[in-house]
Amino acid sequence: MSRWILFFSILVATWSLSGCSTKDRIAGPAPGKVALSCSGMEDLGPDHVYQGWLANGDDLVSVGTFTVDGAGALTPDRFEVPVEDLWAADRFIITIEPADDDDPSPSSTRYMAGDFGVVGAITGDAQLTCGHPEALGDDFSKLYGNYLLETPTTAGDPDDYANGIWFGIPGAPAHWGALIHLRYLPDGWLYEGWIIADGSSISTGKFSAVSSPDSDGPGPAAGPDAGAEYPGQDFIDPPMYLPDFGVWITIEPEPDNSPEPFTMVVLGASVIDDLGPFSFQVLENMVERTFPTGVAVR
């Protein structure tokens, strides 16, 4: 066999062996991967899930949904996405979605978000917070407020003041008597007040404004008179003595995933004191201890 025939045979064999790799390249690159690590997130129950999104300008591409168990573990915590979408993204967003959602667009309940930072030629991770403009838009660290014990729905009984809790001064004009200073929430979120009693919780109503009644007014256990024009509740029938219980104000997803408090407690007091009627008591800012954080790595 001449060396030219030998060379041609080797060349044909090389083309044949390289055919599979050529097809692999034509089929497209391997998918990109993004990994999530988060803390402080709660189990949403069977009816809701979290969903991750890659954002590039106004375009959002889903990376998939995931759940969080009672120990805070994410399942899954790694996602495969088209590599061109992964590296085009400048932000990562987490939303709360219905488990049976057939809408491909994100809900208005944007939970956490972060920017993919750039250091030199290296693309950094996205540090996820609720305060990012693509989420709730504020870190809530400057919120503050007070509450008082009073029962406006039994105006003729001055002795049962400890059966009611209000975040505004009963009888005071709207806006003037608000005791809590909160920021307006974006769509998909509401505030909710709570009495924390012996490991259980009792809602005092949901609200978005601090100078108007909450979702259930003075509450189902209120007395016969009108309630205050502020969030709060009376516990008259049956009576409930509130001191020694706790009080929280949380931020809740809307639609809500549970009748129990969401993990995001903005203001609270571990013990309600009996300081007498119309005594202002301080609500502590609890954001640093209760808000979630996370990181998206690509």
Reading the chain (298 residues) residue by residue, the pLDDT tens digits are 443 343 344 334 443 434 433 333 334 456 789 999 999 999 999 999 999 999 999 999 999 999 999 999 999 999 999 999 999 999 999 999 999 988 899 999 999 999 998 654 456 799 999 999 999 999 999 999 999 999 999 999 999 999 999 999 999 987 789 999 999 999 999 999 999 988 899 999 999 999 999 999 999 999 999 999 999 999 999 999 999 899 999 999 999 999 999 999 999 999 999 999 989 999 999 999 999 999 999 8
**Count of C-beta atoms within a 10 Å radius of residue 240:** 17
Same domain as 160, residue 131: no
Residue 47 lies in a domain: yes
Q: Which two tokens stand for residue 230?
A: 């502020």
Domain C-terminal end among 112, 137, 162: 137
Same domain as 224, residue 198: yes
Helix (H, G, I), strand (E, B) or coil at 289: helix
Domain C-terminal end among 137, 170, 196: 137
Residue 123 has what pLDDT? 62
Pairing of strands 180-181, 144-149: antiparallel
Q: Which positions ≥6 away from 200 have C-beta within 8 Å?
A: none
Residue 16 is classified by DSSP as H
Same domain as 125, residue 179: no
Same domain as 175, residue 239: yes
Helix (H, G, I), strand (E, B) or coil at 119: strand
Could you give the CA distance from residue 188 to residue 236 in angstroms, rounded to a whole number?
Answer: 32
> pTM of the predicted model, to two decimals?
0.87
Residue 173 has what pLDDT? 84
Could you give the CA distance from residue 68 to residue 49 in angstroms, rounded to a whole number?
Answer: 8
CA distances 75 to 35, 38, 71, 136, Å, are 11, 11, 12, 24
Quote the domain boundaries for residue 105.
Answer: 32-137
Residue 153 is classified by DSSP as G
How many structural domains comprise the chain?
2
Same domain as 116, residue 86: yes
Q: Which two tokens stand for residue 105?
A: 């667009």
Same domain as 283, residue 201: yes
Same domain as 164, residue 132: no
